[in-house]
């Protein structure tokens, strides 16, 4: 699903990764670990195809679409959670009807525990709630490959448990997840751990 070969990653003239290789296939849950500044975010941005100037080497993705969750929320503060997610669905080309889409969005917002906040402007929500709106995309995305940068940030403990369950479901139905986290990942599913910082 994802094949990285001979990747050399630099940021601001500093060498972060040297001759890095990674192969992610369907059903794999990959956790990238490392200290602050070890290049986790840069690596994920490179994998998503957002940063192409800092690295040399080859990154090939067989999946045609992916879901990337970065430090920036990707939400419009002036739109409600419902409107933000509707735009996400529209721009990712699910050609279901409008009713189907609205039902999906209701379900996704319920899954992240935001019932009752569907029509509040996002900039009036708390940081944790905004994060949950962002995470609701996981329930709407048909993408086989998920690249998640610190998905647990600002999420409370019960939220984390639900989130881990979602990640495992994604992997079990044939998808793949590459993620970073400073928190321990508590699940029975096998995790591929990759430690950065020895470049």
Interaction site with another protein (CB under 8 A): 12, 48-54, 64-66, 68, 70-79, 83, 87-88, 90-95, 121
Q: In angstroms, what is the minimal distance from the CB of 41 to another protein?
A: 12
Q: In angstroms, what is the minimal distance from the CB of 120 to another protein?
A: 13
Q: In angstroms, what is the minimal distance from the CB of 171 to another protein?
A: 21
Question: 26: which 2 tokens?
Answer: 């369907």
Burial of 119 (0-12, 13-18, 19+ CB in 10 A): exposed
DSSP secondary structure letter of residue 122: G
In angstroms, the Cα distances linking 154 to 67, 181, 190 are: 20, 12, 25
CA nearest 18: which of 168, 196, 192, 165? 196
Half-sphere exposure of 58 (CA within 13 A, CB side): 7
- Residue 99 or residue 188: which is nearer to another protein going by CB? 99
- Residue 64 or residue 188: which is nearer to another protein going by CB? 64
- Residue 53 or residue 119: which is nearer to another protein going by CB? 53
- Residue 122 or residue 185: which is nearer to another protein going by CB? 122
Q: In angstroms, what is the minimal distance from the CB of 74 to another protein?
A: 4
Q: How many CB atoms lie within 10 A of CB 115?
A: 10
């Amino acid at each position: 699903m994802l094949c990285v070969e001979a990747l050399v990653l630099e940021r601001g003239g500093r060498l972060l990764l040297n001759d890095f290789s990674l192969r992610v296939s369907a059903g794999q849950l990959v956790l990238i670990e490392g200290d602050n500044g070890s290049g986790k975010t840069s690596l994920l941005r490179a994998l998503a195809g957002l940063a192409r100037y800092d690295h040399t080497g080859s990154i090939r993705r067989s999946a045609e679409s992916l879901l990337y969750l970065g430090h920036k929320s990707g939400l419009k503060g002036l739109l409600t959670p419902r409107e933000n997610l509707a735009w996400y669905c529209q721009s990712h080309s699910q050609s279901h009807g409008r009713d189907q889409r609205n039902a999906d969005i209701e379900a996704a917002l319920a899954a992240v525990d935001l019932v009752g906040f569907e029509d509040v402007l996002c900039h009036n929500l708390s940081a944790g709630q905004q994060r949950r709106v962002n995470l609701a995309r996981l329930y709407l995305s048909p993408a086989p490959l998920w690249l998640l940068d610190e998905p647990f940030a600002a999420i409370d403990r019960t939220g984390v448990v639900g989130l881990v369950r979602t990640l495992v479901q994604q992997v079990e139905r044939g998808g793949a997840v590459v993620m970073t986290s400073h928190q321990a990942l508590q699940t029975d599913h096998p995790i591929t751990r990759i430690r950065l910082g020895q470049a």
